[in-house]
Amino acid sequence: MARYNSFTSEEISAELAAVNAAYQGFKAKGLKLNMARGKPSAEQLDLSRPMLEVLGEEANLTSSDGTDCANYGGLSGIPEAKQLLARLLNDDPENIIAGGSSSLTLMFDAIARLWTFGTEGNAPWGTLERVKWLCPSPGYDRHFAICETFGMELIPVPLTDEGPDMDMVEQLIAVDPSIKGIWCVPQYSNPTGIVYSSQVVNRLASMACAAPDFRIFWDNAYSVHHLYPQHPVQVADIAAACVAAGNPNRYLKFASTSKITFPGAGISGLAASPSNIQEALKVMGIQMVGPDKLNQLRHGRFLSTDEALQNHMASHGKLLAPKFQLVDRKLSEGLKGTVECSWSSPQGGYFISFEAPAGTAKRIVALAKDAGVQLTGAGATWPYGQDPKDSNIRIAPSMPPLDELDQAMDVFVTCVKLAALEQLAE
């Protein structure tokens, strides 16, 4: 079939009728499918079931440094957890705080500390007239929501295939001291799946910032989440780059095991400079006695070697890769040559980023919802939920079984066509 936008108006009417009939057919099925969030599937969760046996009634609950994990104490976490998180964060265990079950909480709390207490003697951000934040877009809605909640002004920055548009970033941060930070998902970015180039990492580390307390929030959420473990990638280390550039306190690295073991019941980590770690611990020591060390011990013992972690992630990859391949095939078969669109083919992570014809993303998501297929809200990948082109849709293929994903993608493709044709028919 030819491209829709080369159709005559009669051809559009005819195709619209045909696609609409197909859509109504899907609607009549009363489907209930979900591709909204990056949730691991039941099969993936089963991979970590053996971890539930690691700490049984007779287990030794003492960590390698002699800490009783069943009692109070140990603010920065136990060695076993720091070792595992060091693998995820590409850092040394001594630079790491091993936290609770949510890296999102580590990020929120890091901003909350900067907001209320400031850093390195600079004014707390909450006392400033305005605070701005760079948001490479499309990006992760929960990141943006944290900044919105604190009342920051969010500045979208285009995300290229190599990372944020660094010319724009450098121009902005060089002159505006109210720009205090940037969100980065540097490897298998959410949602486009790109990996920051070494050049981008170095420019982020070395750029001249008007704000002395500018911070890179480096959410390396997918550092070991390869779809094809035989070809793993590893983004350049922001810590090493910042140290080399003479800006050792510029970065905060985050990771968690949520998509390694159990989402919401894993462990999280923050890696940063000694100064940043000390500042964090000072407040965290008031906020808590310490993290859940039993769960840290469970994780550290379950994934106690590089090899154990690699094998475990390879098993995840084996379950995930066919789903990403199915989505890619369905999009190719259904849309190539007809609708003006594009999508990412990531080598890891949890998402496929779909670029629909401008002005149709909201309509596509609404159509899919009416046909029983839940997608991430259109616009969610942009600050304030406002996608300027109304074109980006995040597809999360991990959760549904393959047969459901197959159906959901048929619905999706039909919705994309329908929205494109509706637009052309206007």
> Nearer to a copy of itself by C-beta: 22 or 45?
45
Task: Examine residue 59 and tell whether it contacts a copy of itself (CB under 8 A).
Answer: yes
Residue 98 φ then ψ, to 5°? -90, 120
Among 63, 95, 101, 220, binds a copy of itself (CB under 8 A): 101
Q: Is 178 left (phi over 0), alpha (psi -120 to 50) or beta?
A: alpha
SS3 at position 170: helix
SS3 at position 290: coil
Contact 390, 359 (CB under 8 A): yes
Residue type, 25: G
Alpha carbon of 258 to those of 103, 130, 206, 269: distances in Å?
9, 34, 31, 11
Contact 343, 354 (CB under 8 A): yes
Contacts of 405 (CB under 8 A, 6+ apart): 33, 35, 323, 326, 327, 397
Task: Examine residue 149 and tell whether it contacts a copy of itself (CB under 8 A).
Answer: yes
Among 18, 233, 288, 425, binds a copy of itself (CB under 8 A): 288
Task: Examine residue 207 and tell whether it contacts a copy of itself (CB under 8 A).
Answer: no
Tokens representing 422 are 């509706």
Of the candidates 239, 293, 280, the one whose C-alpha atom is nearest the C-alpha of residue 55 is 293
- Dihedral of the alpha carbons of 260, 256, 136, 209, in degrees to the nearest 10: -150
Task: Examine residue 115 and tell whether it contacts a copy of itself (CB under 8 A).
Answer: yes
Residue 194 φ then ψ, to 5°? -75, 160
Stretches 247-255, 291-299, 322-330, 412-420: which one binds a copy of itself (CB under 8 A)? 291-299
Compute the least distance from the CB of residue 330 to a copy of itself, in Å. Answer: 25
Q: Report strand pairing: 163-164 vs 153-160.
A: antiparallel
> Nearer to a copy of itself by C-beta: 50 or 158?
50
> Nearer to a copy of itself by C-beta: 32 or 231?
32
Task: Examine residue 290 and tell whether it contacts a copy of itself (CB under 8 A).
Answer: yes
> Nearer to a copy of itself by C-beta: 182 or 399?
399
The site string for a copy of itself over 226-265 (x = CB under 8 A, - otherwise) reads --------------------------------x---xxxx
Stretches 43-51, 226-234, 238-246, 362-370: which one binds a copy of itself (CB under 8 A)? 43-51
Task: Examine residue 186 and tell whether it contacts a copy of itself (CB under 8 A).
Answer: no
Q: Which residues are near a copy of itself by CB under 8 A?
A: 37, 39-40, 42, 45, 48-50, 52-53, 55-59, 68-74, 100-102, 104-105, 108-109, 112, 115-117, 126, 142, 145-146, 149-150, 258, 262-265, 283, 286-295
